[in-house]
Amino acid sequence: MGKKNKQFVEKVTAMEEDFAQWYTDVVKQADLVDYGSVRGTMIIRPYGYAIWENIRDILDGKIKETGHQNMYFPLFIPESLLQKEKDHIEGFAPEVAWVTHGGDEELQERLVVRPTSEVLFAEHYSKIIHSYRDLPKLYNQWSNVVRWEKTTRPFLRSLEFLWQEGHTCHATDEDAAEETNKMLDVYAQVCEDYLAIPVVRGQKTEKEKFAGAKYTLTIESLMHDGKALQSGTSHHLGTGFAEGFGIRFTDEQGELKPVHQTSWGITTRLIGALIMVHGDNRGLVVPPRIAPTQVMIVPIAQHKEGVLDKGYQLKEQIATFARVDIDASDKMPGWKFNEYEMKGVPLRLEVGPKDIEKNQVVLVRRDTGDKEFVSMDELSMKIPALLEEIQTNLFNKAKELREEKTSVAKTFDEFKQLLEEKPGFIKAMWCGDVGCEEKIKEETSATSRCIPFDQETVHDKCVYCGEEADKLVYWAKAY
């Protein structure tokens, strides 16, 4: 790394030194967010929002392809409505914002600012579902939600965040189970194929499942510091809400039955995962498939005749096969290099007078730093190929890192030692007793991340109590 990079590098704390500070530095320096004036809220700046728009558009396409329809529910939930499903209110009441006044008047009933919309969907479904012909109902909503969190960090845990929440109704438990699986698969695809984040798919334990669900499926990813991040969840809600809200249908035999429901969501948290999986000490690294700008053109000696013209001409040409921009501001090239490295733009294209003479450009990869001279005639072949290479490389690197940071513990001593010395996923057997799970959390602050679909027998005894155990669980400290 040349001298010119120094000015920016100094602004970002090294991740080995202080990972939390590194994260904060990157979200700020890469212009992803600014802090809102209310504690724990964030302003998602244009660059951060453009990443979110790409994630949203990709996922929205898949949500629609799988037969779902978008709709929009109100922000406010009457207190009495939230209380209709007991487990649900217990799970959410401590962390909601309350509206008590409208204009000058005190409200007769307090309103909750939605922390999630199960009860709103449930109430609506109870009105519009009558017969088996009305099923399935496959709805989704993109919205903001509010949770009154005590400790907050941009993207990872904030008072307000953006998300989508799917809510579906089915005639049978099996149909709901199939939907729960299907949407987890969609999430895993978005994470792996677009965000280049490898995930472990599995089921949450009873203790960690969603408040009010029959069971919760999850995709779990691993950050650079060895902490896990729950990246998307899909809940089989069973008939709990249907019973509470009277969502019943007449089946083909004329019998009245409750519907079987699911709900599933991903949030702006995924941007946090992106940062912590791919980022490095020079800043963000954005996988090409979701990068707002895939190629940034930086003209060299742009005051010289023909350079800017060529830059704009290249931009126009590249725009036909990649998302491209040019920085023609009067900042020094070195400054620009730093800025787009910080922002994690996958490819930098440099073009100066000498390059023009030779009918070539310089392409620099953000992920490896590799530099290459490429003929201007080959850009339409070379750039898409390089972008694919970067995409694949990021995924492979992330997967390798995860494998490195995944260990097996057979005893609780091993478990504690690993957490200390080699933080990451710990694969360990569990007897199924919530007591053991709670003790592990109490004593190590690691939580069960999931019971992975890919089960293996790494041992035959529970890592905590030593009793017989046949469930493999992924454990980790988590965001």
| Contacting positions for its own copies (CB under 8 A) | 34, 36-38, 41-46, 48-50, 52-53, 69-78, 81, 94-104, 111, 113, 120, 123-124, 127-128, 133, 139, 143-144, 146, 148, 159-160, 162, 329
Q: Is residue 324 a contact partner of residue 297, using CB atoms and an 8 Å limit?
A: yes
Least distance (Å) between residue 51 CB and its own copies: 11
Least distance (Å) between residue 139 CB and its own copies: 7
Cα–Cα distance for residue pair 295/232, rounded to 1 Å: 29
Per-residue tokens: 152: 């907050």
Q: For residues 57 and 372, which CB has a smaller minimum distance to its own copies in the complex?
A: 57
Q: For residues 40 and 238, which CB has a smaller minimum distance to its own copies in the complex?
A: 40
Q: For residues 263 and 407, which CB has a smaller minimum distance to its own copies in the complex?
A: 263
Q: Is residue 259 a contact partner of residue 249, using CB atoms and an 8 Å limit?
A: yes
**In this structure, which amino acid lies at residue 313?**
Q
Q: For residues 39 and 422, which CB has a smaller minimum distance to its own copies in the complex?
A: 39
Region at 283 (left for phi over 0; alpha for psi -120 to 50; beta for the rest): left
Least distance (Å) between residue 464 CB and its own copies: 32
Least distance (Å) between residue 124 CB and its own copies: 6
- Alpha-carbon distances, residue 54 vs 312, 360, 410 (angstroms): 25, 31, 42
Look-up: residue for tokens 């790494």?
458
Look-up: residue for tokens 């209310």?
38
Q: For residues 84 and 459, which CB has a smaller minimum distance to its own copies in the complex?
A: 84
Least distance (Å) between residue 325 CB and its own copies: 12
Q: For residues 163 and 464, which CB has a smaller minimum distance to its own copies in the complex?
A: 163
Q: For residues 75 and 308, which CB has a smaller minimum distance to its own copies in the complex?
A: 75
Cα–Cα distance for residue pair 257/404, rounded to 1 Å: 49
**In this structure, which amino acid lies at residue 383?**
I
Q: For residues 48 and 244, which CB has a smaller minimum distance to its own copies in the complex?
A: 48
Q: For residues 126 and 360, which CB has a smaller minimum distance to its own copies in the complex?
A: 126
Least distance (Å) between residue 351 CB and its own copies: 23
- Alpha-carbon distances, residue 248 vs 88, 167, 177, 309 (angstroms): 20, 16, 18, 66
Least distance (Å) between residue 424 CB and its own copies: 33
Least distance (Å) between residue 341 CB and its own copies: 21
Query: In 3D, which of 394, 446, 454 has the Cα closest to residue 424?
Result: 446
Q: For residues 97 and 362, which CB has a smaller minimum distance to its own copies in the complex?
A: 97
**In this structure, which amino acid lies at residue 188?**
A
Query: In 3D, which of 73, 80, 74, 91 has the Cα closest to residue 245?
Result: 80
Cα–Cα distance for residue pair 294/286, rounded to 1 Å: 9
Cα–Cα distance for residue pair 399/442, rounded to 1 Å: 29
Least distance (Å) between residue 13 CB and its own copies: 21
Query: 342: burial class by Cβ within 10 Å (0-12, 13-18, 19+)?
Result: buried
Count of C-beta atoms within a 10 Å radius of residue 131: 11
Least distance (Å) between residue 148 CB and its own copies: 4
Task: Provide the CA 370 distance to its chain's centre, in angstroms.
Answer: 28
